[in-house]
Each structure stands twice: as C-alpha cells, then as structure tokens.
C-alpha cells in the first residue's frame, strides 16, 4: 500500500523558515516524480513544486520561487521542502503527492498533509 506521510508543519513567524518532510513507503520511491501541493484554509488546491525521480527536473510556482527549495533523498525514501522567508499567505496545509508515472500528468497518491501557519 502506498503511504505518504508529511511532517514538519507548525507555527512560524513571518520571515521565518520551516522544513517539511514527506516519508514514502509501499512503492519504489526512486522511480517516481513527486510534488508539493498546498491548500490555504477554506481555499482551493495550489501546486507549489515538482521534482523528478532523479532530481534532474525541478519546478516551482511563481508564488514561492526563490523562497522554497524542493529536494529528495531516494536512499531514505523522503521528499523535502525547505521554506524560507515565509509570509502570511503561505499559511496552508501542505500535501506531498506522487505523480502517477512518466507520461502521466496527474497525481495518483496524496499524503494527509501538514499544516503550516505563518503568524506573529
């Protein structure tokens, strides 16, 4: 069974930093591309970042480019999101999601999310 478990969320002050992790199990992590998607309270889904299986391709939404850094450790089956210079508008539940496979442009498995609150 595919499992994605996010951690690292919490309360942080504006301008602060936070590092999110996503632990993957139940599949060959190194064969799949991954993404972070967030959802502000009461709002819709917003794609944040994407990383290919070998980390050769990395993309960011314009809203986080230059502030967030995605990475992965295939040996540890983990996906990471380093978030710097956080703003109030970054407050959201952050989901890690697995891209189905190469050639398929949708996310077939999602974690349950971790809440990030940016507030003073």
Partner 1 sequence: SYVLAQPPSVPVAPGRAATITCGGDNIGSKNVHWYQQKPGQAPVVVIYYDSERPSGIPERFSGSNSGNTATLTISRVEAGDEADYYCQVWDSSTDHWVFGGGTKLTVL
Main-chain phi, psi angles of 77, to 5 degrees: 55, 45
Whose Cβ is closer to partner 1: residue 105's or residue 120's? 105
Mapping DSSP onto H, E and C, the string for 68-113 reads EEEEEECCCCEEEEEECCCCHHHCEEEEEEEECCCCCCCEEEECCC
Q: Interface mask (CB under 8 A) for partner 1, residues 40-69, using x and -?
A: ----xxxx--x------x-x-xx-------
Whose Cβ is closer to partner 1: residue 3's or residue 13's? 3
Give the rounded distance of the alpha carbon of 97 from its chain centre: 7
Q: Interface mask (CB under 8 A) for partner 1, residues 81-100, using x and -?
A: --------------x----x
The H-or-E segment that residue 13 falls in is none
Binding site for partner 1 (CB under 8 A): 35, 37, 44-47, 50, 57, 59, 61-62, 95, 100, 104-108, 110-113
């Amino acid at each position: 069974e595919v499992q994605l478990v996010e951690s690292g969320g919490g309360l942080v002050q504006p301008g602060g930093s936070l590092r999110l992790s996503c632990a993957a199990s139940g599949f060959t992590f190194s064969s799949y591309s991954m993404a972070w998607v967030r959802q502000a309270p009461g709002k819709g889904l917003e794609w944040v970042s994407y990383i290919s299986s070998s980390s050769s391709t990395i993309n960011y939404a314009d809203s986080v480019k230059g502030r967030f850094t995605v990475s992965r450790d295939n040996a540890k089956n983990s996906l990471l999101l380093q978030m710097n210079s956080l703003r109030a508008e970054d407050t959201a539940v952050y989901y890690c999601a697995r891209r189905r496979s190469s050639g398929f442009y949708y996310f077939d498995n999602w974690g349950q999310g971790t809440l990030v609150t940016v507030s003073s």
